[in-house]
Chains A and B, each alone.
Chain A
Amino acid sequence: MNLTLKVWRQKNATDHGRIETYEARSIPAEASFLEMLDIVNERLIEGGGEPIHFDHDCREGICGMCSLTINGVPHSKERGITTCQVHMRKFRDGDTIWIEPFRARAFPVVRDLVVDRTAFDRIVAAGGFISVRTGSAQDANALPVPKDDADASFAAAACIGCGACVAACKNASAMLFVGAKAAHLNLLPQGKPEQDKRVLAMVRQMDAEGFGGCTNQYECEAVCPKEISADVIAKLNRDYTAAAVKEAVC
């Protein structure tokens, strides 16, 4: 198939950046979206140009590295997948495709389609963990966890930290990401002792990083490749309020 690509090019963080147009000819329909970009890049290089930079690694929807906004939607309009799982057979011959980075104030562009998402790492470092020193654990089956709790925790833990939720939100809010991490840990008995400290610290770090507030648009849930439910946001709000009240009383 033949396509026209409108691609965001930006040399580095300080460059202004602009959309450039590329013709992608004879693309096999079985190729993935990123393989299509590989083909375009190889031709660019052979022609003396500079390839389009984009993040990727596992190419099977689990590492969270790939991060393209395709025709205005993070990871494309297809539900429940990452950019690397988009296949060209979903497009039509002659289509024009707009390819832009995940945009948000807290995700500055590094180059072309590559953005800096280290803000997420700092939020996790603020409290997204259970403090257990290696070697100090009891037998794994000493603490049974009801299957429903374990399953709910797992559903939240499926987050791959890609940042599509932020890129889709008009406020660039990170509530789905933070809510997912908090729910994963707070739903487990192991996570209870640090629950209050965790939610207070993570939410404060989120604010400090410049993410916006949540105004219940649910765009985040719609683009999440792991289909994490916005219920985790409601839970985060409850957990946060409870912790803030306790903190105020103490």
Chain B
Amino acid sequence: MASNGSPLHSAVPSGPLADKWTKHKNESKLINPANKRKYSVIVVGSGLAGGSAAATLSELGYQVKCFCYQDSPRRAHSIAAQGGINAAKNYQNDGDSVYRLFYDTIKGGDFRAREANVYRLAEVSANIIDQCVAQGVPFAREYGGLLDNRSFGGAQVSRTFYAAGQTGQQLLIGCYQALSKEIARGGVKMYSRTEMLDLVLVDGHAKGIIVRDLVTGEISRHAADCVILATGGYGNVFYLSTNAMGCNVMAAFRAHKRGAYFANPCYTQIHPTCIPVSGDYQSKLTLMSESLRNDGRVWAPKKKEDAEAIRTGRKIAADIAEDDRDYFLERKYPSFGNLAPRDVSSRSAKEACDEGRGVAPTGLGVYLDFRDAIQRLGRNTIEARYGNLFQMYEKIAGTDPYTSPMMIYPAVHYTMGGLWVDYNLMSNIPGLHVLGEANFSDHGANRLGASALMQGLADGYFVIPATLPNYLAGQKPGTVKTDDPAFAEAEEAARARIHQLLSVNGKRTVDSFHRELGMLVWDKCGMARNEPGLKEALARIPAIREEFWSNVRVPGEGANLNAELEKAGRVADFIDFAELMCHDALNREESCGGHFREEYQFTEADDDVKSGYTNPGEAKRRDDAFCHVSAWESAGPGNTPILHIEPLAFEAVKLSVRSYK
């Protein structure tokens, strides 16, 4: 479909792919040390992306203000990452290289990411590991004292660095310590339990934010020479997800309303290995790290009757004979087996369950089985590798994975879409930069495991420090003050919204709306999408919005810690955002990565299926019409958003049908 907006300029430097980043750094502007301290930078978010950016920019001499909604920057959602972080170190001598990491990531993203950004990501990946080790991040080591690696989905080399099942925690603590050092030195002023409510634009440039102190309820203005958003992903639009409860789209969506383009919102990642849903009281879903697929085998019974018997408690997994088990990933993707990428693995699990072969009481669950690995390697080895994950599973599910297989089902996990940024990580609003999961740039339509941590830290430690001067050098420092009328307008709007939320005084709780919205988007814009379903969602969302604003009940006052008020603000934005996500999913008439449109899949009639290259039912891209980034401009409440297109040009890789057979 043709866009109705103007095209976008990605600012990707010319020249051969492998030289672009070096060339760009050489040609980027510099700000001399004495001048750096005259510039102020606002960083919203203290996760891997925001924390690393804030610490590094402060080290360089900028005056930084950093904001997060938790009580401490150490608690950002990055802390929950389990499995690991990729880097092209080739310490295993198994043939890895910057090019291979780049290629796996581009292919993993189903050829919907920007080549130059992905190459840069692979290029700086090695520096990240060096930096983290120097900070004292206790990665797993071999007996010789050198760093250990494991494999992750979508790759045939071992390039994932890890710290047991707590990699995100250890990386974030390293980052938090670097940030703490700068806070103590006076380079960063930290605002915890503070929420960004709006972005302030002065003469079209991002020059500040409006925030609410979550403890006192005080609303205040902050001005700076530029603004960086590193506020994470929007997975909680689905209500149930593996994200922390507070993860939200508010900061990004407020920026969108102020003019920032939102790119590819329909690209959401459904992770194949999560503990299945068990009841409607449930508040979140728990991920079982992808690393488990190094040794666990995924299967479902071949026969529906066996699955039915398991569901009703008449049989257990051990009763199913070897020949009656369908190790469907190994069967369908022999060369990647259980390490097939996430989108592909999730859809296969859904397929098995849709065929009536699910084993959880709800019908939605397949097995992840360690029986063979325990036989081969012994219980001790498995315990050393996955002990904490097995424990976590047992605590939640109440069964012991050493003796009976885990039950898993896909769940919302990560969002590839985000605010549109150029090669400098600057959005279409001058001065507004976006890092980490909050931007859209590196993972295309599907992210490979262990690459979000890599991207967050690449953006914060290495990219933004080099690219920010390209914007700042053109700005006279400290020119904008909070008495500018733009601040007064934004503050007024933020106050009015809070007042409105508190004064509806209806009958329904915020959570009840969030659940309703989540169920709708999971159903219509989840693992599989189609035109009638998306149209139905688009018809129903306005009704949810209308009822929300006329019947929500937000108790308490604004001048206090008020958790319901915080949730209400976030859910209000999720409702509007869900609409945008469905528009994008409807518009993208192809299947790619995590975006599976049922109308576009391979069938027996396709040559690639006849030749055995791919399977029927796999996602079918339409490169002729959709090899582009869809970046949406807000057209105001109730209006269809305006589409801007960034064509994706591939210079170094050849577009191909993605096959993991």
Using a CB–CB distance below 8 Å, which chain A residues touch chain B? Answer: 11-12, 28, 30-32, 34-35, 38-39, 42, 45-46, 48-51, 53, 55-65, 81, 85, 87, 89, 110-111, 114, 116-118, 120-121, 124-126, 128-141, 143-147, 150-151, 153-154, 157-158, 160-161, 184-185, 188, 190-191
User: Does B147 belong to the interface (CB within 8 Å)?
Assistant: yes
* A5–B279 CA distance with the chains assembled, in angstroms: 23
User: Does B330 belong to the interface (CB within 8 Å)?
Assistant: no
Which A residue's beta carbon lies closest to that of B461?
A134
Which B residue's beta carbon lies closest to that of A138?
B130
Decide: B555 and A140 in contact? CB cutoff 8 A.
no
User: Does B392 belong to the interface (CB within 8 Å)?
Assistant: yes
- CB contact under 8 A between A146 and B563, given known A38-B283, A134-B465, A157-B138: no
Q: A58-B245, A160-B79 are in contact. List 11 more A-B contacts (CB 8 A).
A: A39-B281, A63-B79, A117-B71, A124-B177, A132-B178, A134-B59, A141-B89, A147-B141, A147-B143, A150-B138, A190-B133
Contact with A111, one of B183, B392, B561, B564 (Cβ below 8 angstroms): B561
* A185–B132 CA distance with the chains assembled, in angstroms: 13
Residue-by-residue, is B156-200 near A (CB-CB < 8 Å gives 1, otherwise 0)? 000000011010111001001110110110000010100000000
B131 contacts across to A, CB distance below 8 A:
132, 134-135, 137
CB distance from A233 to the nearest CB of B (A): 20
B283 contacts across to A, CB distance below 8 A:
32, 34-35, 38, 59
Residue-by-residue, is B140-162 near A (CB-CB < 8 Å gives 1, otherwise 0)? 11111111000000000000000
* A54–B649 CA distance with the chains assembled, in angstroms: 50
Decide: B181 and A134 in contact? CB cutoff 8 A.
no
User: What are 28 A-B pairs at a CB distance below 8 A?
Assistant: A31-B279, A32-B283, A34-B283, A35-B281, A57-B245, A58-B79, A58-B245, A59-B284, A61-B392, A63-B77, A64-B79, A85-B392, A114-B561, A116-B71, A121-B180, A125-B184, A129-B135, A134-B59, A134-B131, A134-B178, A137-B133, A140-B133, A145-B145, A147-B143, A157-B173, A158-B166, A161-B74, A161-B75
Decide: B281 and A65 in contact? CB cutoff 8 A.
no
Which A residue's beta carbon lies closest to that of B508?
A46
* A184–B169 CA distance with the chains assembled, in angstroms: 13
Decide: B555 and A49 in contact? CB cutoff 8 A.
yes
Decide: A62 and B166 in contact? CB cutoff 8 A.
yes
* A22–B2 CA distance with the chains assembled, in angstroms: 59
Decide: A85 and B281 in contact? CB cutoff 8 A.
no
* A50–B144 CA distance with the chains assembled, in angstroms: 58
Decide: A65 and B70 in contact? CB cutoff 8 A.
yes
Interface size for chain B: under 10, 10 to 19, 20 to 34, or 35 or more residues?
35 or more
Decide: A129 and B130 in contact? CB cutoff 8 A.
no
User: Does B80 belong to the interface (CB within 8 Å)?
Assistant: yes
Which A residue's beta carbon lies closest to that of B243?
A58
CB distance from B44 to the nearest CB of A (A): 17
CB distance from B489 to the nearest CB of A (A): 31
B136 contacts across to A, CB distance below 8 A:
130, 153, 157, 184-185, 188, 190-191
- CB contact under 8 A between A46 and B553, given known A118-B72, A120-B72, A134-B131: yes
- CB contact under 8 A between A60 and B286, given known A51-B555, A111-B560, A118-B192: yes
Decide: A157 and B177 in contact? CB cutoff 8 A.
no
Interface centre among A126, A132, A139 (most CB of B within 10 A): A132
User: Does B278 belong to the interface (CB within 8 Å)?
Assistant: yes
Which B residue's beta carbon lies closest to that of A67?
B71
Decide: A137 and B59 in contact? CB cutoff 8 A.
no
Which B residue's beta carbon lies closest to that of A131?
B181
- CB contact under 8 A between A138 and B134, given known A31-B281, A125-B181, A154-B164: yes
A143 contacts across to B, CB distance below 8 A:
133
- CB contact under 8 A between A117 and B145, given known A30-B279, A42-B511, A85-B395: no
* A144–B144 CA distance with the chains assembled, in angstroms: 7
Decide: A140 and B180 in contact? CB cutoff 8 A.
no
* A89–B398 CA distance with the chains assembled, in angstroms: 9
CB distance from B68 to the nearest CB of A (A): 11
CB distance from B254 to the nearest CB of A (A): 21
* A101–B459 CA distance with the chains assembled, in angstroms: 38
